[in-house]
């Protein structure tokens, strides 16, 4: 063999990842960022109870984690009022999306999403040869009706919707999601990404039974729980689909330390409430910085604020570049007209103060 023999599909794919990490940018620049405000991590950190649990588990790291994830699945089921058979745990939502695509997508399978929505879902669909159909946003929101219409037109196997949304930070009330589920074509599964649901207003989560067969809901410990570095996410869905993940998942993919940390974080709901309060304070602070500089902070149900730079995408990209040059890591939507914005994660006061200092210089330099 002179070179690796890839499948035609694999050979056709670009060797890229959906996001360029801040570490990659730091290596290119030769210095660290002053403020890390681009990856929607929780700078407020994990629960002290989770830290203690992970420290205790570190001495047991010579053992594999429980491949059945029994304790964590049981606790999640109790938390959500369902059965352990309705829960799937995996390596973050990104990992679980990959497993779902492997289970349900083959070359030519029609899949519906929004133009400009979370690109990792698209990455996995493309990796299994699916055909993506994209509906535009309606203003700053994903458009459930347009997605539904497109699913009916294409016979879509999967319909992806994030609520709250990344990259715009917007959200729909739970009733809108319930209405969407009720109208889905019989062949379509709603892939509901609820990564930011713990930070959203009351009533954002739909009241839908866990065993609903045309719905899978994804949640994570990466955002409100502050455990992005662990890679622990989970899905809530009907038992037959949840069980199907056992056909393809990496059964040792969630390690012993990660399981211990997630279990302790879930139990510490008081700390989660504390984080919500810090998020609300930081949202107000960051929105004020945007307004002071003539930008429009869009309403947010997440741990970031998307700021309308009031011009076109080229201008917003220059703003981002000049922020990066000053040591401020932020990101932006990649598709017009959403790309008129920059997206800034919430942070602690030193990080927000650094952004506040850098922003006016970046806006002026971008003109």
Q: For the residues 319-329, what does the mean pLDDT come to?
A: 96
Residues 277 and 213 in one domain: no
Residues 248 and 335 in one domain: no
Checking if the pLDDT of 135 tops 60, the result is: yes
Given 219, 244, 267, the domain boundary residue is 267
CB 158 within 8 A of CB 149: no
Residues 118 and 257 in one domain: yes
Write down the pLDDT at residue 1: 56
CB 327 within 8 A of CB 354: yes
Residues 52 and 36 in one domain: no
Write down the pLDDT at residue 177: 98
Given 267, 293, 326, the domain boundary residue is 267
Q: Is residue 10 part of a domain?
A: no
Residues 236 and 320 in one domain: no
Residues 97 and 196 in one domain: yes
Domain limits for position 310: 19-45+270-366
In tens, the pLDDT along 14-67 reads 888 788 888 988 898 888 999 999 999 999 999 999 999 999 999 999 999 999
Q: CA 355 to CA 346: how far, in whole Å?
A: 11
CB 126 within 8 A of CB 106: no
* b/e map 274-296, b = 16+ CB within 10 Å: ebbeebeebbebbbebbeeeebe
In tens, the pLDDT along 253-287 reads 999 999 999 999 999 999 999 999 999 999 999 99
Residues 118 and 171 in one domain: yes
Q: Is residue 281 part of a domain?
A: yes
DSSP 132: E
- What's 319's domain CATH number? 3.90.1150.10
Residues 54 and 39 in one domain: no
- Residue 327 half-sphere exposure toward CB, CA atoms < 13 A: 12
Residue listed under structure tokens 């319909």 = 159
DSSP 141: B
Q: Is residue 174 part of a domain?
A: yes
- The candidate with the shortest Cα–Cα distance to 290, out of 277, 275, 305, is 305
Q: CA 76 to CA 92: how far, in whole Å?
A: 15
Mean pLDDT for the chain overall: 96
* Range of lowest pLDDT (9-13, 166-170, 336-340): 9-13
Q: For the residues 163-180, what does the mean pLDDT come to?
A: 97
Residues 54 and 36 in one domain: no
Helix 269-292 and helix 256-267: axis angle, to 10°? 80
Residues 221 and 346 in one domain: no
Measured CA to CA in angstroms, residue 216 lies from 189, 209, 241, 254 at distances of: 7, 11, 9, 20
- The candidate with the shortest Cα–Cα distance to 159, out of 175, 174, 143, 147, is 147
Specify the 3-state DSSP secondary structure of 45.
coil
Given 206, 236, 267, the domain boundary residue is 267
Residue listed under structure tokens 């309403």 = 299
Residues 63 and 30 in one domain: no
Checking if the pLDDT of 327 tops 90, the result is: yes
Q: Is residue 192 part of a domain?
A: yes
Q: Dihedral (C-alpha) 249, 253, 256, 262: value to the nearest 10 degrees? A: -80
Q: Is residue 141 part of a domain?
A: yes
What's the sign of the alpha-carbon dihedral 252, 258, 259, 262?
negative
CB 266 within 8 A of CB 53: no
Domain total in the chain: 2
Q: Is residue 326 part of a domain?
A: yes
Tokens standing for residue 1 = 């063999």
Residues 28 and 142 in one domain: no
Q: CA 92 to CA 195: how far, in whole Å?
A: 10
Q: Is residue 7 part of a domain?
A: no
Q: Where residue 4 falls among pLDDT bands split at 50, 70, 90?
A: confident
Q: Is residue 145 part of a domain?
A: yes
- What's 71's domain CATH number? 3.40.640.10
């Amino acid at each position: 063999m002179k070179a690796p023999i890839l499948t035609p599909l694999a050979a056709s794919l670009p060797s890229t990842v959906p996001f360029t990490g801040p570490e990659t940018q730091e290596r290119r620049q030769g210095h660290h960022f002053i403020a890390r405000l681009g990856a929607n991590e929780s700078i407020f950190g994990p629960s002290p109870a989770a830290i203690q649990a992970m420290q205790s588990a570190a001495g047991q790291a010579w053992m594999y984690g429980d491949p059945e994830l029994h304790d964590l699945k049981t606790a999640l089921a109790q938390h959500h009022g369902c059965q352990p058979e309705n829960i799937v745990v995996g390596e973050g939502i990104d990992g679980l999306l990959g497993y779902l695509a492997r289970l349900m997508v083959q070359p030519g399978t029609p899949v519906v999403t929004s133009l400009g929505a979370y690109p990792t879902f698209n990455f996995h669909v493309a990796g299994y040869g699916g055909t993506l159909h994209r509906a535009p946003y309606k203003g700053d929101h994903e458009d459930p009706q347009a997605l539904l219409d497109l699913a009916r037109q294409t016979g879509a196997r999967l319909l992806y919707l994030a609520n709250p949304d990344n990259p715009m930070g917007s959200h729909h009330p739970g009733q809108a999601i319930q209405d969407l589920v009720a109208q889905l074509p019989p062949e379509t599964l709603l892939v509901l990404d609820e990564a930011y649901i713990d930070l959203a207003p009351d009533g954002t989560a739909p009241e839908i039974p866990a065993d609903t067969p045309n719905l899978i809901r994804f949640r994570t410990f990466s955002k409100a729980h502050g455990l992005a570095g662990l890679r622990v996410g989970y899905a809530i869905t009907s038992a037959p689909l949840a069980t199907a993940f056992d056909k393809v998942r990496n059964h040792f993919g969630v390690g012993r330390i990660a399981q211990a940390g997630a279990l302790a974080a879930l139990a510490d709901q008081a700390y989660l409430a504390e984080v919500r309060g810090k998020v609300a304070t930081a949202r107000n602070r960051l929105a004020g910085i945007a307004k002071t500089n003539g930008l429009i902070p869009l309403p947010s149900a997440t741990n970031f604020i998307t700021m309308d730079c009031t011009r076109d995408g080229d201008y917003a990209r220059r703003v981002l570049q000049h922020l990066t040059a000053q040591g401020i890591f932020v990101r932006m939507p990649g598709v017009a007209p959403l790309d008129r914005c920059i997206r800034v994660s919430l942070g602690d006061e030193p990080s927000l103060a650094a952004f506040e200092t850098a922003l006016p210089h970046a806006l002026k330099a971008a003109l």
